[in-house]
Amino acid sequence: MTREEVLDSIKANIENENLIKHMLATEAIMRALAKRLGEDEEEWGLTGLLHDIDMELTGGDMSSHSKLGADLARELGANEAMAHAILCHNEAHGIPLETKLDKALFCADPLTGLIIAAALVRPDKKLAGLEAKSVIKRFKEKGFAAGVNREQITRCSELGLELNEFIELGLEAMKGIAADLGL
């Protein structure tokens, strides 16, 4: 399974550009996490890239979201570890996070939303000038981007990462693909 094949499949299954950007951002954070933790960057990155591939096919139905996604990922050639991470990133199934890959996807997913929201309230709406400390401040403001699940982000502790370090790593990773994100 190549990254190009994954991208083709995403484009075939998803129309919403913002959803595709969310998946690209998740990929970037997953790659950075894998690098930081000495894990397989390609495996972790593609897991992030694929994780919401079924979102439009399932019409946002949380009882099927990520089950179909895991199947589609397998069809594309993802291994069982990747499929499992995709399956359990949707809490609705109540499947416990087991591996580091499971945990990484689970906490990286909502971090993208917090960082994008923090960039969009800046006058220039860009990531470049956004500092980790302002994202951390935004994290603590419960009313800011209220849909972002903070508890889920703090589960980075299960990977041995402090929240501040995780936010910093995520922000740097997303800055690296700012052009692709249009930010």
Q: Which of 27, 54, 109, 168 binds Fe ion (CB under 5 A)?
A: 109
Cα maximum dimension of the chain: 44
Quickly tell me which residue has 């849909």 as its tokens: 147
Show the DSSP H helices in the chain as ranges.
3-13, 17-37, 41-50, 67-76, 80-88, 100-120, 132-140, 150-154, 163-175, 178-181
How many chain residues bind Fe ion (CB under 5 A)? 2
User: Is 54 one of the binding residues for Fe ion (CB under 5 A)?
Assistant: no
The distance of closest approach from Cβ of residue 123 to Fe ion in the complex, given in angstroms and rounded to an integer, is 28
User: Is 52 one of the binding residues for Fe ion (CB under 5 A)?
Assistant: yes
Instruction: Give the single-character DSSP code of 8.
Output: H
> Rule CB under 5 A: which of 136-155 touch Fe ion?
none
The distance of closest approach from Cβ of residue 51 to Fe ion in the complex, given in angstroms and rounded to an integer, is 5
With contacts defined by CB under 5 A, name the span among 45-53, 118-126, 141-149, 158-166 that binds Fe ion: 45-53
From the CB of residue 104, how many other CB atoms can be counted at a distance below 10 Å? 29
Contacts to Fe ion by CB under 5 A: 52, 109
